[in-house]
Structure 1
Amino acid sequence: MMYDFDKIIPRRGTNSYKWDSMPDDRDVLPLWVADMDFRTAPAIIDALARRVEHGIYGYVHVPDKYYKSVTDWFDRRHNWQIDRKWFIYTSGVVPAISAVIKALAEPGDGVIVQTPVYNCFFSSIRNNGCRIITNPLKYENRTYHIDYEDLERKAAAPDTKLMLLCNPHNPAGRVWTREELCRIGEICIKNHVTVISDEIHCELVFPGHVYTPFASISEKHLQNSVTCISPSKSFNMAGLQIANIIAADDRVRQQIDKAININEVCDVNPFGIEATIAAYNQGEEWLIQLLDYLKTNYDFLCDFFTKNLPQFTVTELEGTYLVWTDCRILHMSSDELQALLLEETGLWLNSGTMYGEDGEGFMRWNIACPRAVLEDAMTRFLKFVSTRCN
């Protein structure tokens, strides 16, 4: 079956955070919030329709087939064998990260992040009274690399307890290689730093790159890490609010389970369960076609920049649908650029400084939209730049 990702599905008036955060009378084109403007896989829609038809939406028991759908998927696609007893389900990856930090760190402890990085990492650390320790990524030749010497030095500090890893990385677009993850793990194991790996974008990987679950590298990596996963980004079902924490160490898992209950995020909804089962059991072909479409969107964007805006640099996109562009040639801050773009053209992008001060001068584009929408966005950006460079 062929899926139509070119179809424009109006989202205004659906209480969409992405589309309804501005008054209806404004011509706003939002390429900011990280959800997709595509209908999800038909198998998921059908599963939800059946559940809705039942008409009773009470508290839910998570069934065996839920766990089997997840473990079979990761075994088949990523050669990672997850034991069912390692699971803790919760309402999302961000609540999961916050609970894991609460469980494994004390207020004042240091948590390493590799900036620029997903903005909720910062709030999850601060909200638990911990300190943010940055291991800035090195930007060169349109991509990012890890500064291992800096990571080693900061991991060695006695009050550094955790490292928050983004795998694949948002917004840098990196899909970390097995060798890179192995070296991160070795540094953290040596210095008794536990890795929390956010792998929510794990299915959104382009040809030539391979997602490696951090915990799959070795038994030591498994035991010294906690992994957070969800089908929400890959299947455009973030609003259904479901995720899994994978922790192989029994003691660590018990601590996390306690923190999940303290944070009151221990319950999930029936629609998230049904959608997850359908996604992992019947959604693979839809996902494959989605990835093809996202790659052509990225190629279109790169070609547009090359032909019309060659002075800008587009970061290489190995995974996710979030494109990172270097806009420093405009000589304005990311926040200023975001505000002016929105005010003058209606194009709504993410300011790079959302992701830490190392994102200054960059902007993040969400290209998970029909091609016509992306073309409109590029045209608006070109018009904005033309008024300043001519």
Structure 2
Amino acid sequence: MKCDFDQLTDRQQTGCIKWDFNQRTFGRADILPLWVADMDFKAPEAVVEALVKRAQHGIYGYSSGTESYYQVIIDWMQKRHGWAIQREWIAFSPGIVPALNELIRSLTKPGEQILIQSPVYPPFFHAIQNHGREVVNSQLTLENGRYTMDFADLEEKFASGVKMMILCNPHNPVGRVWDRGELERLGQLCLAHDIIVISDEIHGDLIYEGYQHLPFASLSPELAAQSIVCTAPSKTFNLAGLQNSNLIIPNAKYRQAFQASLNLTGVHNPNVFGITALEAAYQYGLDWLDQLMKYLKGNVEFLMSFLDQELPQIRAIQPEGTYLIWLDFRALGMEPKELHKFLVHKAGVGLNAGYSFGLGGEGFERLNLGCPRSVLEDGLQRIKTAVMGLGDASPIHSHD
């Protein structure tokens, strides 16, 4: 069945963080939101049908994953990523961010160092700091429009006493899909310095043609024993509101520590609709996903062409994966917070402020491409109009 990703679906009045809370998030209600990482596309029809059927059953009691639930996860990882995992490695979490917090709490001690690579997903910083651990940053290097890891810096930081690393694979927000050579080199350093690696792979199914996602723990048995891979159908199939994620933890000691920490919070089982949606998505959602990636690629090409022809002052980092794109506004010469206010209050668009992603994010903003092309075009036209009006000396008013 051909999917219509151009279809506009009104998400207002649904409790939607992206569309219903502009006033709270940006200080004004009348903006076009292109920020938080969920998509404005309906989930695969097979998922909708499965949820409707489950809802019609009428009883929504305590639930847990059956063997079929675990088998579809195993099959997906094998078919999609060539990684053979075992049933007992899979551990439930209501989300990747809660999992990060539990893994940090259960596998490190207060005061210990945890490394991240900025600019990176802001909850990484929060999860480390909230539990009294120390953030160690190895900033990514931007050269010729492409980000790379700074391996010399990584080795130096690891040698200084780092205990854990949070890897973003694919990387949010810069869109890199780390290749085998990069991951193997990183893996050798982690083994040499006995670093536990949490690999956030929530975007691992959203890969553009010509690139391949490699689960970090799949590289070798030695790295599997030192790694936790975080997965979910939520980004892939637009199911984030169903709060169902799965960690793949080959190391039994790590797995038991994580489970014990999770138990202290009283979190036990996935909700009944999350179970249903995951099984349907992984079994029947592949064709929808293939069509989605073609549509997203078209959105990337549309944006790149628009900037080239209409807004050459703004550059985009070519994404290799994810439906997020990292925009470089530095040529406008604005301070980071002024840039964000300008986009909200002059352009009327809500993006993610680049400075919230840590060092290296200043002067950038993250835009969500997971929307109908007409919405994307509207957002870009708004930005163009605002940039063209920069000769107007009227001040930028924040309505905070």
Q: TM-score, normalised by structure 1?
A: 0.98
Q: Deviation of residue 343 (structure 1)?
A: 1.6
* Identity across the alignment (%): 44
Partner of 1:65: 68
Partner of 2:18: 18
Moved segments of 4+, more than 3 Å = 23-26
Residue 105 of structure 2 corresponds to residue 93 of structure 1: no
Write the distance in 2 (CA, Å) between the matches of 1:265 and 1:353: 33
Partner of 2:353: 351
Q: Which moved more, 1:331-340 or 1:235-244?
A: 331-340
Partner of 1:214: 216
* Aligned pairs (5 A) from 1:24-43: 26-43=29-46
Of 224, 237, 246, 1:235 maps to 237
* Aligned pairs (5 A) from 1:248-327: 248-327=250-329
Q: Spell out, residue by residue over 1:163-217, the C-alpha distance to the aligned partner (whole angstroms, 9 max, x if none).
A: 0000000001000001111111110110011100000000100011100010111
Partner of 1:137: 140
Residue 112 of structure 2 corresponds to residue 109 of structure 1: yes
Contact kept, 8 Å, 2:6 with 2:374, in 1: the verdict is yes
Q: Deviation of residue 23 (structure 1)?
A: 4.9
Write the distance in 2 (CA, Å) between the matches of 1:338 and 1:35: 21
Q: Spell out, residue by residue over 1:57-84, the C-alpha distance to the aligned partner (whole angstroms, 9 max, x if none).
A: 1110210000001100110111101100
Q: Deviation of residue 263 (structure 1)?
A: 3.1
* Aligned pairs (5 A) from 1:150-161: 150-158=153-161, 160-161=162-163
Aligned CA RMSD, in angstroms, stands at 1.3
Q: Deviation of residue 266 (structure 1)?
A: 2.8
Q: Which residue identity lines up with residue 111 of structure 2 in the other structure?
A: G
Contact kept, 8 Å, 2:22 with 2:30, in 1: the verdict is no
Write the distance in 2 (CA, Å) between the matches of 1:55 and 1:340: 49
Q: Spell out, residue by residue over 1:287-309, the C-alpha distance to the aligned partner (whole angstroms, 9 max, x if none).
A: 00000000000000000000011
Contact kept, 8 Å, 2:296 with 2:323, in 1: the verdict is yes
Write the distance in 2 (CA, Å) between the matches of 1:61 and 1:216: 27
- SS of match in other structure, 1:339: helix
* Structure 1: segments with no counterpart, 5+ residues: none
- SS of match in other structure, 1:280: helix
Of 360, 375, 379, 2:362 maps to 360
Contact kept, 8 Å, 1:90 with 1:245, in 2: the verdict is yes
Partner of 1:9: 9
Contact kept, 8 Å, 1:334 with 1:363, in 2: the verdict is no
Write the distance in 2 (CA, Å) between the matches of 1:209 and 1:241: 28
Write the distance in 2 (CA, Å) between the matches of 1:279 and 1:67: 13
Structure 1's 71 and 389: CA in aligned 2 closer, same or farther, altered over 3 A?
farther
Write the distance in 2 (CA, Å) between the matches of 1:321 and 1:121: 19
Of 122, 129, 134, 1:126 maps to 129
Structure 1's 268 and 365: CA in aligned 2 closer, same or farther, altered over 3 A?
same
Partner of 1:50: 53
Q: Deviation of residue 269 (structure 1)?
A: 0.5
Write the distance in 2 (CA, Å) between the matches of 1:44 and 1:193: 39
Q: Which residue identity lines up with residue 21 of structure 2 in the other structure?
A: S
Q: Which residue identity lines up with residue 144 of structure 2 in the other structure?
A: N
Write the distance in 1 (CA, Å) between the matches of 2:337 and 2:84: 43
Write the distance in 1 (CA, Å) between the matches of 2:39 and 2:319: 17
Contact kept, 8 Å, 1:95 with 1:265, in 2: the verdict is no
Contact kept, 8 Å, 1:91 with 1:266, in 2: the verdict is no
Q: Which residue identity lines up with residue 127 of structure 2 in the other structure?
A: S
- SS of match in other structure, 1:204: coil
Partner of 2:395: none
Contact kept, 8 Å, 2:64 with 2:269, in 1: the verdict is no
* Structure 2: segments with no counterpart, 5+ residues: 393-400
Contact kept, 8 Å, 1:26 with 1:346, in 2: the verdict is no
* Aligned pairs (5 A) from 1:378-389: 378-388=380-390
Partner of 2:397: none
Residue 339 of structure 2 corresponds to residue 337 of structure 1: yes
Contact kept, 8 Å, 1:66 with 1:277, in 2: the verdict is yes
Q: Deviation of residue 344 (structure 1)?
A: 2.3
Q: Deviation of residue 389 (structure 1)?
A: 5.4
Q: Deviation of residue 355 (structure 1)?
A: 0.5
Q: Spell out, residue by residue over 1:272-326, the C-alpha distance to the aligned partner (whole angstroms, 9 max, x if none).
A: 1100000100000000000000000000000000001112221011000110011
Q: TM-score, normalised by structure 2?
A: 0.95
Q: Which residue identity lines up with residue 81 of structure 2 in the other structure?
A: H
Write the distance in 2 (CA, Å) between the matches of 1:169 and 1:333: 25
Q: Deviation of residue 137 (structure 1)?
A: 0.2
Write the distance in 2 (CA, Å) between the matches of 1:263 and 1:139: 40
